[in-house]
Amino acid sequence: MAKYDQVVRNASESLLEDERLRSNLTDREAKIVLEDWALEWLETRINTARSEASAKQIAKNELARVRAVVSAINALAKKPGALRLAESVGALEESLRASPAYTREEIFALLAALTSAAWKLRATK
């Protein structure tokens, strides 16, 4: 049970009820993006709050970030056929921009994590 269950539920419902975020995704793709990632991300972040008021603020902020990513993925899903990884990551560039900029070490950690995730994904097939 989530620490701030009602806040999590409200944020989750808001995300899942927006059909524009999944209009180009298959059911399996929507499960991967929305359920397996977005909802888990929201719940984890919201539950770091120290009060219900801060939980609501975190939900608002994280919901905006998650919507932007899911919207970019949904737009990418409109393209037919196989997708290229570099192009797909590029579609998330705006959502991944950070201020201040990522350090070199953070970039290398992200690249290593992406490579590991890609290799693990293919190793299970």
- Are 51 and 68 members of one domain? yes
User: Rounded to an integer, what distance in angstroms lies between the CA atom of residue 12 and that of residue 38?
Assistant: 9
- Are 69 and 122 members of one domain? no
- Are 74 and 109 members of one domain? no
What pLDDT digit, counting tens, does each position of 33-75 carry? Answer: 999 999 999 999 999 999 999 999 999 999 999 999 999 999 9
What's the number of domains the chain is made of?
2
* Domain housing 108: 98-125
- Are 85 and 108 members of one domain? no
- Are 17 and 71 members of one domain? yes
What pLDDT digit, counting tens, does each position of 1-44 carry? Answer: 467 999 999 999 999 999 999 999 999 999 999 999 999 999 99
pTM of the entire predicted model? 0.88
- Are 12 and 55 members of one domain? yes
- Are 61 and 13 members of one domain? yes
- Are 22 and 77 members of one domain? yes
- Are 104 and 68 members of one domain? no
User: Rounded to an integer, what distance in angstroms lies between the CA atom of residue 70 and that of residue 90?
Assistant: 14
